[in-house]
């Protein structure tokens, strides 16, 4: 039951919201965020980070079902 | 390292002229992308004008807003802001920002669109009743965003005459005296403190109540931070959008072929809003300097630790290495990577809300007013002066 996390580097503006909300899951380097792990165990903070991204550059999927968990469409 | 002129230039370089961006920025981008400037107040600064350098100043953690506190920061107004979210760096900044970020996500904002549309429709009905010519600012541009932020935050709309006056204190450079600025800020904070007490006693389904809960039940922010944040949301939540609506309409009216194209392609209003965000230099000058925390090379010059750097969003948005025909308005522009809402940690919290309101505003005005035009001469438009932002304070409109 793992999740897949992606950051769209083209959209990302390096706000740092994700790395602050979900510590240990994102790193912002040279103004662009990337996920530290593409596979993560289910965790509310990761969904929180995706929901709080000012430009919705983060997407979280349930790997098994392929269902998008955040941001909600 | 590039040779730079060590004598600081007076900045802004010229008196602002309507929405015209000073052509000197283009010269600086070519010749001296990071240059020395002297503002009306505070110490001398560096000014970055190229897109990539501007993004670096806003997003690179080696450039700090918090380090401006206690310094004589370069600025266009007598008083420097010493508290609030705009004087913080991560992680302190993020602690506050994440308390409100969820109320401004694209998804939450989309839920507010039908309500914003109803407000706009009501205002347009009132405008049709009165008939042309009338002032877009008073009749539409101010009441739309004020109503939206009042409902979202939980501020009574009936108090708008008061907080509108006080709000100017946060954007005045020379419009108000130093004493007025101080008085208005005190009154605004007093007003918000009273409102917070009311909500504390009687919580409601609004952002203010949610922030009070975050303070009282989870101790996530101090009482001062709560007041500052609420005041910031109220001011920033309406002033800029209320200024951009008439700015956008003015630009469209002075670019008739683009206006005609948009009328024929109403589904492209979102693209038009992005292009107008790029094209309109909302700020009179670059503001909110960042201080270098260590020596940083930027645009070919060495910024020493402790030196302040201003970065011009308006200049970045006209960078010819990023945008084709940057001085031209092209509402159909694709993959528009403008930074009109800023960049990095302080990227406009309300960007999605502003986008939605601007889309609703333009879409509604174009649909409801065929033959929309200036209700008088160009000289009849009254422009703000002595403020950090540019825009009409009176924009007379007429229609068929």
Tokens standing for residue A34: 């990337």
Contacts of B172 (CB under 8 A, 6+ apart): B77, B180, B181, B386, B387, B388
> What is the pLDDT averaged over residues B39-68?
96
Structural domains of chain B, count: 1
Q: Which long-range contacts (CB under 8 A, 24 or more apart) does B177-182 make?
A: B178/B78, B178/B79, B181/B77, B181/B78, B181/B79, B182/B79
Q: Can you count the helices (H) and strands (E) in chain A?
A: 2, 6
Q: Which residues of B touch A68 (CB under 8 A)?
A: none
Domains of chain A: 3-70 (3.30.70.20)
Handedness of CA B230, B231, B233, B238 (dihedral sign): positive
Query: What is residue B330's predicted lDDT score, i.e. its pLDDT?
Result: 98
Look at residue B272 and tell me if it is in a domain. yes
- pLDDT at residue B90, rounded to an integer: 87
Segments forming the whole domain that contains residue B160: 9-398
Average pLDDT over chain A, rounded to whole?
89
Q: Which of B107, B290, B354 to mutate to test the interface with A (most CBs of A within 10 A)?
A: B107
Mutual angle of helices B223-236 and B207-216, in 10-degree steps: 160
Contact check, Cβ <8 Å, A54/B95: no
Q: Which residues in A lie closer than 8 A to residue B97 (C-beta atoms)?
A: 17
* Cα B123 off chain centre by: 23
Of the candidates A13, A20, A31, the beta carbon closest to that of B90 is on A20
| Contact assessment for residue B101 and residue B346, using Cβ atoms and an 8 Å cutoff | no
At B3, is the pLDDT very low, low, confident or very high (cuts 50, 70, 90)?
low
CB contact under 8 A, A51 and B102: yes
Residue B2 in domain: no
| In a domain? residue B1 | no
- B246 part of a folded domain: yes
Confidence class for position B1, pLDDT limits 50, 70, 90: low
| Shortest CA gap A61–chain B (Å) | 17
Average pLDDT over residues B4-14: 90
Provide the chain B residues 236-295 that lie in CB contact (below 8 A) with chain A.
Answer: none
- Cβ atoms within 10 A of the Cβ of B16, count? 19
Q: What is the pLDDT of residue B2?
A: 57
- Closest by alpha carbon to B251, among B227, B281, B226, B221? B281
Residues of chain B numbered 65-104 and touching chain A (CB < 8 Å): 90-91, 94-95, 97-98, 101-102, 104
Distance in Å, alpha carbon of A31 to nearest chain B alpha carbon: 5
Given a cut of 80, whether residue A1 has pLDDT beyond it is no
For chain B, the average pLDDT equals 95
B160-177 pLDDT tens trace: 999 999 999 999 999 999
pLDDT at B335 over 90: no
- Contact at CB, A16 and B94, closer than 8 angstroms: yes
CATH no. for residue B171? 1.10.630.10
| Residue B181: pLDDT over 60 | yes
- What's the whole-number mean pLDDT along residues B322-327? 97
Residue B285 scores a pLDDT above 80: yes
A24 touches chain B (CB under 8 A): no
Residue B200, in any domain of the structure:
yes
Chain B residues inside the 8 Å CB shell of A55: 347, 351
pLDDT digits (tens, 9 = 90+) for B70-117: 999 999 999 888 888 999 998 899 889 988 988 898 888 999 999 999
List pLDDT tens digits, range B134-162.
999 999 999 999 999 999 999 999 999 99
- Angstrom distance (rounded) from CA B359 to CA B278: 15
How wide is the angle at C-alpha B77 spanned by C-alphas B74 and B79, nearest 5°? 85
pLDDT of residue B55 exceeding 90: yes
Q: Which of B33, B74, B36 is nearest to B51 (CA)?
A: B33
**Residues B198-249 pLDDT 10s:** 999 999 999 999 999 999 999 999 999 999 999 999 999 999 999 999 999 9
Whether residue A54 and residue B55 make contact (CB cut-off 8 A), yes or no, is no
Q: What is the pTM of this model?
A: 0.94
- To the nearest whole Å, the CA of B146 is away from the closest chain A CA by 22
């Amino acid at each position: 039951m793992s999740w897949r996390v992606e950051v769209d580097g083209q959209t990302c503006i390096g706000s740092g919201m994700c790395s602050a909300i979900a510590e240990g899951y994102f790193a912002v380097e040279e103004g662009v965020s990337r996920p530290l792990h593409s596979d993560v165990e289910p965790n509310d903070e990761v969904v929180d980070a995706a929901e709080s991204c000012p430009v919705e550059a983060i997407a979280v999927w349930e790997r098994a079902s392929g269902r998008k968990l955040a941001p909600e469409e | 390292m590039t040779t730079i002129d060590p004598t600081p230039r007076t900045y802004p370089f010229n008196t602002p002229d309507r929405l015209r961006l000073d052509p000197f920025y283009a010269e600086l981008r070519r010749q001296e992308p990071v240059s020395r400037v002297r503002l009306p107040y505070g110490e001398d600064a560096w000014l970055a004008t190229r897109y990539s350098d501007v993004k670096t100043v806003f997003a690179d953690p080696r450039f700090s807003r918090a380090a401006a506190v206690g310094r004589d920061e370069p600025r266009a107004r007598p008083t420097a802001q010493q508290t609030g979210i705009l004087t913080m760096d991560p992680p302190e900044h993020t602690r506050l920002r994440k308390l409100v970020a969820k109320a401004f996500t694209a998804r939450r904002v989309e839920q507010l669109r039908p309500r914003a549309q109803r407000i706009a429709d009501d205002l347009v009905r009132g405008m049709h009743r009165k008939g042309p010519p009338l002032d877009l600012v008073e009749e539409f541009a101010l009441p739309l965003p004020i109503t939206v932020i009042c409902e979202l935050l939980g501020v009574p709309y009936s108090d708008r005459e008061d907080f509108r006056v006080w709000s100017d204190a946060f954007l005045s450079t020379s419009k108000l005296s130093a004493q007025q600025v101080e008085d208005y800020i005190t009154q605004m904070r007093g007003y918000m403190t009273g409102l917070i007490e009311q909500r504390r006693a009687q919580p409601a389904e609004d952002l203010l109540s949610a922030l009070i809960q975050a303070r009282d039940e989870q101790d996530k922010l101090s009482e001062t931070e709560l007041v500052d944040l609420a005041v910031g949301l109220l001011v920033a939540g309406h002033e800029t959008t209320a200024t951009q609506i008439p700015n956008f309409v003015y630009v469209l009216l002075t670019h008739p072929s683009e206006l005609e194209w948009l009328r024929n392609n109403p589904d492209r209003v979102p693209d038009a809003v992005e292009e107008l965000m790029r094209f309109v230099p909302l700020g009179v000058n670059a503001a909110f300097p960042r201080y270098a925390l260590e020596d940083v090379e930027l645009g070919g010059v060495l910024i020493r630790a402790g030196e302040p750097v201003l970065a011009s969003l308006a200049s970045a948005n006209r960078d010819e290495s990023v945008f084709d025909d940057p001085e031209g308005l092209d509402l159909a522009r694709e993959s528009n990577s403008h930074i009109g809402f800023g960049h990095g940690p302080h990227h406009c919290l309300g960007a999605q809300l502003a986008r939605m309101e601007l889309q609703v505003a333009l879409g509604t005005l174009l649909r409801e007013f065929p033959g929309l035009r200036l209700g008088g001469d160009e000289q009849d438009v009254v422009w703000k002066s002595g403020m950090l932002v540019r825009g009409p304070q009176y924009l007379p409109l007429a229609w068929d």
